[in-house]
Amino acid sequence: MTTEWWLTYLLTTTILSLSPGSGAINTMSTGISHGYRGAAASISGLQLGLAIHILLVGIGLGALFSQSLLAFEVLKWAGAAYLVWLGIQQWRSAGAIDLDAVSRAMPRRRLFKRAVLVNLTNPKSIVFLAALFPQFILPHQPQAMQYLVLGATTIVVDIIVMIGYATLATRIAGWIKGPKQMKRLNRIFGGLFMAVGALLASARRIA
């Protein structure tokens, strides 16, 4: 893989990571409600989910989801239902902003697992990676190393972008003074989770 080819992929994956999705919403929501440490656990979970998708694409299972309508539909509806459930939970959250108390109520291990599921149950992610990676794989060069480079680039870029979202979220949290503001923000993020879930439910498999 040439440097120019890698830089092209770097630009592509940066744009994709910056586009708001369920991962960004989850990171900002967690950052506001649980502080930077909670957001760090969430980001780690997102990256594990992303790494599993990259691994699946590397061993060829990504092609299954892009070609099998049943596999795509099952994962799509599971992911949509999970995001809607998260949205309902966020919507119903109390307006308290005591981050220490919230952290005790939802430990970082749980935040990590929740983030893993957010990424794992998004079939658009694995299908998109399955469609994107081959565009940057040079057939006359060792493919395993190229997949490793592309996968590592994707994860590093996503970590940096998610840290940016988390930083923004924790700063917003500092401006929230009362429970009414927090409750309103919870409903905004809850609505966003449900909206992303609805979009995922309406998604069609890439031809």
pLDDT tens sequence across 134-186: 767 776 777 778 888 889 999 999 999 999 989 988 887 666 555 666 667 66
- For residue 3, which amino acid is it? T
Break the chain down into helix, strand, coil percent, rounded to 5: 85, 0, 15
Answer with the residue of higher pLDDT: 60 or 17.
Answer: 17
Residue 10 maps to a domain: no
List of residues 6+ apart from 69 with CB closer than 8 A: 205
Angstrom CA distances, 127 to 96, 160, 175, 185, stand at 39, 23, 39, 32
Q: How confident is the model at residue 99 (pLDDT cuts 50, 70, 90)?
A: very low
Tell me the CB-side half-sphere exposure of residue 168, using CA atoms within 13 A: 12
**Cα distance between residue 161 and residue 124, in whole Å:** 19
**Cα distance between residue 157 and residue 88, in whole Å:** 30
Residue 182 maps to a domain: yes
Residue 93 has pLDDT above 70, yes or no: no
User: In this structure, what DSSP letter does residue 185 have?
Assistant: H
Residue 168 maps to a domain: yes
Range of the domain at 79: 35-201
Count of domains observed in the chain: 1
Residue 20 maps to a domain: no
Residue 13 maps to a domain: no
- Residue 186 is predicted with a pLDDT of 67
How many helices (DSSP H) and strands (DSSP E) are in the chain?
A: 9, 0
Residue 9 maps to a domain: no
Residue 74 maps to a domain: yes
- Residue 83 is predicted with a pLDDT of 65
Q: How confident is the model at residue 96 (pLDDT cuts 50, 70, 90)?
A: very low
Residue 1 maps to a domain: no
Tokens encoding 74: 């099952």
Looking at the chain, the whole-number percentage of residues with pLDDT higher than 70 is 64
